[in-house]
Amino acid sequence: MRSEFKTIGIISKFSDLSIGGTITTLINFLLDRGLEVMLDESAAKTLPPSELETVNLEQLGQRCDLAVVVGGDGTILHSARALADHDIPLVGINLGRLGFLADISPDDMMDKLDEILAGKYHREERFLLVSQVERNGQIINEGYAFNDVVIHKWNSVRMIEFETFVDGQLVNSQRSDGMIVSTPTGSTAYSLSSGGPILHPSMNAIILVPVCPHTLSNRPLVIDGDCEVEILVKPGSQPHVHITLDGQDNFEIHDEDRILIRKKDKPIRLIHPAGHDHYQLLRAKMGWR
């Protein structure tokens, strides 16, 4: 079989030894088709010692043509952030619960991958957010988010107070439990549960969703995806404010820190089976008739 994908990297859910059988089946399938296979360090831990090369995610992004992510949406979120600076597409084998991003079941894995390797697939591009924390004029923390950047209270029942700016213009000053700055991909995650709208993943837009605001007129706001969002934490909030990226990376915010959020210039490429239907996925996952 001739394929544009010659070297395949396999990434797995971290420290989940129960998926070794699925990864073994996947490896044999790919080797039988004459493809080169590399394992990330998490995937290698699920298997007995083998001759397959084990690499970190940085090396995998540099050397592979396709990354097959075995796990759930959380594993895809982690992989997308780690591979954000590499032009490598991701395809997800869903061993999780929701599967908004990882949409191939283990039962269909070989048939769907055969189609993808034959060039029959749906490709889409989605963007990540770049988050920077500025303190006393210096950038002290930077990271990427595929779903959302969340500024939230931590270890306290007190609300936090902050100002929100878009492209340097003041939007509002609010007291609340926090703010969700979401991509269209993240519109079906924490943003949705906090009352935000569902956006089609192809949209160039960013969602600002207040979390339990003190003033109920503070509503979700959709802005252009090329805007820069700035959140300024007001004095008196420290040490009860944290910033969290995709629910996985966490950092403490101090009074008068400036949080800058913008779209990353390089997109993430996702590979779906042919016939991928975003609305069918929404119907299934949201329980719509």
Known catalytic residues are 73
What whole-number distance in Å separates Cα of residue 125 and Cα of residue 187?
16
Question: What's the one-letter identity of residue 187?
Answer: S
In which region does residue 119 sit, left (phi positive, over 0), alpha (psi from -120 to 50) or beta (all else)?
left
Cα→Cα distances 168→60, 165, 172, 182, 227, Å = 38, 5, 12, 19, 10
Residue of 9, 146, 149, 148 lying closest to 84 (CA atoms): 146
Task: Name the strand (E) or helix (H) holding 57.
Answer: helix 57-63
* 92 close to 34: Cβ distance less than 8 angstroms: no
* 236 close to 256: Cβ distance less than 8 angstroms: no
What whole-number distance in Å separates Cα of residue 234 and Cα of residue 255?
6
